[in-house]
Structure 1
Amino acid sequence: MNALVTTQGADGYVPELEQSLLGVLLQGNGLARVQPYLNEQHFRAEDHRIIYRAIQDAFERSGTTDVRVVAKLLPEGFDFEFKTRHGLGIHQYLARLIGECVHTVASIDKVAKSVVEQWARLAFAEQMELASIAARDPSASVGKLIKTAGTVLEELGSGVRRSASRRSRMSAGEAGDAAIAAAREAMKNGAGLTGVTWGYADVDRITGGMQRKDLILVGARPSMGKSSVMMSTALRAARKGHGVGILSLEMDAAKLIARGLSDLTLATQNPVPYVDILQGRMDEAGLACVEAMNQRLHTYPILVEEAGGNVFDIRMKIEAMIERFERNGQPRLECLMLDHLGFIEPGAHYRGNRNNEVGEITRALKDYAKEYDIAVMLLSQLSRQLAQRDNKRPILSDLRDSGNIEQDADVVVFLHREAYYLERTEETDTEKENERIATLAACQNRLEFIIAKQRNGPVTTINLWCDMAFSAARNGERYAG
C-alpha cells in the first residue's frame, strides 16, 4: 500500500476511509465513542491496525490519543519498516493523517461506521468467493455450506449492527427522562403496566408486564402448562394491541393455534377442548363457536413461524416479522415467544458442549431483545431430575447445568402444577389416599407461577387458575374471556 494512496483499490478498498478515522483519533480524543464497536480487525491495512492498537494503548495508559503519545507506543522498528515499504517515515505519515483530515470529533461516528461497513463489504466478498469454490466440490454438503454461510453472515452482520445508530449511551438526565416517560405511561394504563401484558392482573402488578429489552425464561417440566401460558399470554397481549411473534419450534402452527382457539371458546356457551378440535370431535354448535373464535383471531396481531434453525435464523425471522407487521399496518413487534430452547440449533463454534451451546443461544437472544427493543419469552424444559425430589417445585439451582440461562435472563419464571403429580400417584393406605384425593380436588385448577428471579422486582409465587383441557390459564381463581 502506498502510504498516502488516494485512489480506490482494485478490490474495492478505499484507504482514505481508514486514514480519515485515524486522523480524527490522533487529534487527541473521540476513541471512547467508537471503541465499543470498532476493533483493529476492521482496518484493512496492517499498518493501520498497528497504529490503531497504539491509539488504544495510549488511551488506556494516559486517557488521551494525542499523536505524540501514540508515536511513542508504536512497536520498536516500525518506523524503519514503514519507511522501507512506503518511502515515508511514520512520524511524517501520522502528521499528514492529521493535517489532511477534513473530519472532526463531531463526525467521528459517521467515519467509524464507514470503516466498519467497508470491512464487512470486503470480508463478505472474500467469503462468497470461498463459498463459491467450496460449492464446486461435488462431495460438498449443501446443508453444511448453507449453515457455514449463515454463521459467516451473522458474524459480519453483528459487526455492522454494533456500529448502527441505536443509542447505547445517554446522560443521566436523558435516562431520567426515559424513566419518567415510562412512569407516565404506566400511570396512564392505570395498572402500573410498563411493558407487554402477561394477561394476568396479579402477574402484571408484580412485574409491570414483560419489559422490552428483557430476556424472560419460562421453565417447567413437561405437561406443566408452558405452551398454555405462552398461548394465553400471546392472545391477551395481542388483544391489548401488542404485536406478538411466536416461533413454535416443537409444535406445528395448526396444533398450537388449536390450543388458542380452545382457550378463546372457554368464555363462550360452547367451550371446546383443544383435543376435540384436533380430532374433529365437535357438534355443529361447537364448530360454529370455533369458527367464530378464528374470525376474532384474524384481527389479532400475531404471527406464527414453525420452522427451526439457529440464532442466525431467528434473527432473520425477527426482521421478517417486523417488516410484515409494518407492511400490514399492524402494531409493531413487541414480544417474541420461542417454544422451546431445546429445539434451537447451536452454532458451530460450541457444538458438542451443551453448556456453552446454551450460553451462546441465551446471549444472542438477550442481544436481540435489546437490539430490536422487544421482550423475548424463551420456554425451556427442565431436567427430569427435579421430578425425583419430594418437593418437585423448580428452583434456580435446577438451571445450574444449563449454560448461562440464570445469568442472561432478566426474569426467570417456573411453572408448577401439583395436580399433575397427584393424579399419577395412588396411596395404598386408605387415610392417605383420601387425603390425596382431597388435596387433588383443592388444587385441580391451580397453576403456580413462580417468579424465581426478577432484576427489577420481587420474587414470589402467584397462583393462577388453569384448565389444561382448554390449554387455558387465567388470573387467580377468576377468569374472563
Structure 2
Amino acid sequence: MNEIATINATGTEAADTDPMPHSIEAEQQLLGAILTNNDIFDRVNAILKPAHFYDPVHARIYEVAAARIAKNNLASPVTLKAFLEDDEGLRELGGAAYLARLAGAAISSFAARDYAQMIHDMAVRRELIGLGNDIASKAKKVEVTSEPREQIVEAEQALYKLSEQGQTERGFVSFLKAVTEAVNSANAAYQRDGGLAGISTGLVDLDKKLGGLHPSDLLILAGRPSMGKTSLATNIAFNVAKAYRKGEKPDGSIGAIEGGVVGFYSLEMSAEQLAARILSEASEVPSEQIRRGDMTEQEFRRFVEAAKALEACPLYIDDTPALPIAQLAARARRLKRTHGLDLLIVDYLQLCRGTAQNRVQEIGEISMGLKAIAKELNIPVVALSQLSRTVESRDDKRPQLSDLRESGSIEQDADVVMFVFREEYYVEREKPSDDRLEEMAAWQERMERLHGKAEVVVGKQRHGPIGTIELSFEGRFTRFGNLVKPWQQDGDAEF
C-alpha cells in the first residue's frame, strides 16, 4: 500500500515539496473501495466530483466508474479495464494491474465518506490558492474596463460559490422525513401559542394572516406613492431587530430565537433619513420636527433616549443607489457571514439594476434574483414595489395584482404579494368647497371614519389565505400599529 501511495500520474515519486494540498493515498483507497463495493459511490457522489481528484488518472477512473454505476452496470477492475486500455497515464502506472492494486488497497466502507470529504477539502484548498492568484494577477493589471469595485464583487461571488460547494444536495427525501419536518414546523408555531412558524412582524393581525415571515419566501409589498410602503417596511424592520434574542435553536444551532438580524437596502432614501424615520416612531416625535430640529426639551430627551436604546439593535442599512442585483446578493452574503442575517428588506425593487436591455426582462431578472437570495440564504426577503398609474384612473383605488408595475414576473416569483392602501389619502383630496354644506358634512363624516386607518391587502399568498388586514396609521410618527376593534377593550391590543 505504501508503494502505491507514493506514485503519481506520471509514474514518478510524488515530490514532498509540492506546495499544492493533496492526498494521493486517500484518492487511491477511496477508488479501491468504490471498485470493490459500488454502493459506496452513492454515499460520496453528492460531495465528490472527478475534478476534485488531484491525480488526473484517478479523476478519469472515477468518471468512468460513475458513468457505469449511473447506468446500473458493474464498475470493477475487470469492467473498467476495457474503457481505460488506451489511457496513457494509466498505462504508465501499470495499466490493468494498477486497477487491481487499487481494489486491494480498499478502505472499509464506513470510512469512505470521511475520505471523500478529505479529497474534496484538499480540492477546495487548491481552488482557493488558484483564486487568490487570479485576484492578485487581475489587481496588478491596470485596465480601464476592469474597475476595482467590480473585481471585489467578482471575487466575493467566486468565494461564496466555492464555500457552497460540497454541501450535500437534498435530492429526494422520504415521506417520513418530510412529515417530520412539517410536524416540527407546526410544533414551533404551537409553542408560540398557535401564532407563528416564521419571524413576527410585530403587527398581530398581519402575523395571523401570514403566519410570520418564513425563510426562503419572497414577499412583495406594493403601493402607490404616499401610501406608506417605506413606513410599513421600516416598522417591520424595527420590530424584528428590537425583538432580537440570540440562543440555541431547536436544531441545536446558535441563532435568533426571537426577532432577527435585519439588512435594509434603502435605494431611495439615505441611511440618515431612514434612521430619522425609525427614531420618530420609537420616540414619538413627528418626523418633520426632527428634520427641522424643532423639538421641545422633553421631545429631544425622548429622541436621544430612543437613539441610545436603538444602538444595540442589529439593523444594518445600505443606501447605495442603483445597486446591481449581483452586488446586492454579494453584500447580503457578506452580511450573513459577518453579522448573521434573518430578514432582508429592499426599498424598492424598481431601483435595482439588472443586466438585460429590455426593462420588463430587467425587472424579471431582479425579481428572480431576489427569490434566489431568499432561497440561497434561507431568509425571508421583503421587496417594496411601485404600482402603475392605472390605479388612479379607477373609481375604486384599491390595488390589484394586475397593477404591479413593469413585469408579470414579480407576481410569478413572489410567495406573497401585499398592497398598502390608505383610503384617507384619496378622500382627503376630494374635499368639497366650504359653501357645499351637505357635501362637506358627508366628507367630514367619511374622514372621521377613515382617519388613522390603513389596510394591507394580501392579493397572493402561496401558503395561506388572501384578504385584508386593518392597521392603525399615525402619519406624524410614520408608524403603523395594531388596530383596536370596537369589541376589544383597551388592554387587548398591543401598540
Q: TM-score range by the shorter chain?
A: 0.7 to 0.9
Distance 1:128 1:137 in 2: 15
- Cα shift readout 1:275-332 (whole Å, capped 9, x = no counterpart): 221221212222122223333334544444545643112210122222xxxxxxxxxx
Distance 2:58 2:408 in 1: 38
Q: Is residue 412–residue 451 contact of structure 1 (8 Å, CA) maintained in 2?
A: yes
- Cα shift readout 1:249-271 (whole Å, capped 9, x = no counterpart): 32333322221222224xxxxx4
Match for 2:277: what amino acid? R
| Residue 80 of structure 1, CA deviation | 0.8
| Equivalent residue number for residue 251 of structure 2 | none
Matches within 5 A, 1:275-286: 275-286=288-299
Question: Which of 332, 336, 339 lines up with 1:314 in the alignment?
Answer: 332
| Equivalent residue number for residue 148 of structure 1 | 151
Aligned CA distance change for structure 1 residues 147 and 388 (closer, same or farther; 3 Å): same
TM-score (norm 2): 0.75
Q: Is residue 46–residue 168 contact of structure 2 (8 Å, CA) maintained in 1?
A: no
| Residue 342 of structure 1, CA deviation | 4.2
Q: Is residue 249–residue 338 contact of structure 1 (8 Å, CA) maintained in 2?
A: yes
Q: Mean alpha-carbon deviation: is it higher for 397-406 or for 206-215?
A: 397-406
Distance 2:132 2:406 in 1: 38
Distance 1:131 1:300 in 2: 35
| RMSD over equivalenced CA pairs, Å | 4.0
Give 1 or 2 for the bigger CA radius of gyration.
2
| Equivalent residue number for residue 92 of structure 2 | 86
Aligned CA distance change for structure 1 residues 208 and 356 (closer, same or farther; 3 Å): closer
Q: Does 1:291 align with 2:304?
A: yes
Q: Is residue 415–residue 447 contact of structure 1 (8 Å, CA) maintained in 2?
A: yes
- Cα shift readout 1:78-120 (whole Å, capped 9, x = no counterpart): 531335763533x44444443323352x444443443443333
| Residue 229 of structure 1, CA deviation | 1.5
Match for 2:88: what amino acid? F
Residue aligned with 2:285, SS: coil
Residue aligned with 2:419, SS: strand
| Equivalent residue number for residue 137 of structure 1 | 141
Distance 1:345 1:97 in 2: 53
Distance 2:201 2:410 in 1: 21
Question: Which of 226, 237, 240 lines up with 1:237 in the alignment?
Answer: 240
Q: Is residue 25–residue 65 contact of structure 1 (8 Å, CA) maintained in 2?
A: no
Q: Does 1:365 align with 2:373?
A: yes
Q: Does 1:254 align with 2:272?
A: yes
Distance 1:359 1:35 in 2: 33
Match for 2:329: what amino acid? V
| Residue 379 of structure 1, CA deviation | 1.9
Q: Is residue 358–residue 403 contact of structure 1 (8 Å, CA) maintained in 2?
A: no
Q: Does 1:61 align with 2:66?
A: no
- Cα shift readout 1:171-209 (whole Å, capped 9, x = no counterpart): 554554444444344333224222211111112222221
Residue aligned with 1:124, SS: helix
Q: Does 1:211 align with 2:214?
A: yes
Matches within 5 A, 1:9-88: 10=18, 12-14=20-22, 16=24, 17-26=26-35, 27-36=37-46, 38-43=48-53, 46-62=56-72, 66-67=75-76, 71=80, 74=83, 78-82=84-88, 86-88=92-94
- Cα shift readout 1:363-422 (whole Å, capped 9, x = no counterpart): 43123432xxxx323223235355465255444455695585445543333323333444
Distance 1:73 1:470 in 2: 78
Aligned CA distance change for structure 1 residues 87 and 174 (closer, same or farther; 3 Å): closer
| Equivalent residue number for residue 272 of structure 1 | 285
Distance 1:351 1:45 in 2: 44
Identify unmatched segments of 5+ residues in structure 2: 1-7, 245-258, 486-492
Residue aligned with 1:281, SS: coil
| Residue 473 of structure 1, CA deviation | 0.8
Aligned CA distance change for structure 1 residues 155 and 65 (closer, same or farther; 3 Å): farther
| Equivalent residue number for residue 224 of structure 1 | 227
Q: Mean alpha-carbon deviation: is it higher for 50-59 or for 200-209?
A: 50-59
Match for 2:418: what amino acid? V
Q: Does 1:379 align with 2:383?
A: yes
Residue aligned with 1:232, SS: helix
Q: Is residue 117–residue 160 contact of structure 1 (8 Å, CA) maintained in 2?
A: no
Distance 1:447 1:272 in 2: 20
| Equivalent residue number for residue 329 of structure 1 | none
| Residue 161 of structure 1, CA deviation | 2.2
Matches within 5 A, 1:380-399: 380-387=384-391, 390=394, 392-397=397-402
Match for 2:328: what amino acid? N
Identify unmatched segments of 5+ residues in structure 1: 266-270, 323-332
Match for 1:67: what amino acid? S
TM-score (norm 1): 0.77
Aligned CA distance change for structure 1 residues 87 and 369 (closer, same or farther; 3 Å): closer
Q: Does 1:120 align with 2:98?
A: no
Q: Mean alpha-carbon deviation: is it higher for 116-125 or for 430-439?
A: 430-439
| Residue 125 of structure 1, CA deviation | 2.7
Q: Is residue 245–residue 336 contact of structure 1 (8 Å, CA) maintained in 2?
A: yes
Aligned CA distance change for structure 1 residues 297 and 400 (closer, same or farther; 3 Å): closer
Aligned CA distance change for structure 1 residues 54 and 414 (closer, same or farther; 3 Å): farther
Share of identical aligned residues, percent? Answer: 25
Distance 1:383 1:37 in 2: 45
Q: Is residue 20–residue 126 contact of structure 2 (8 Å, CA) maintained in 1?
A: yes
Match for 1:411: what amino acid? V
How many pairs are equivalent? 453
| Equivalent residue number for residue 462 of structure 1 | 469
Aligned CA distance change for structure 1 residues 58 and 403 (closer, same or farther; 3 Å): farther
Q: Mean alpha-carbon deviation: is it higher for 13-22 or for 185-194?
A: 13-22
| Equivalent residue number for residue 334 of structure 1 | 342
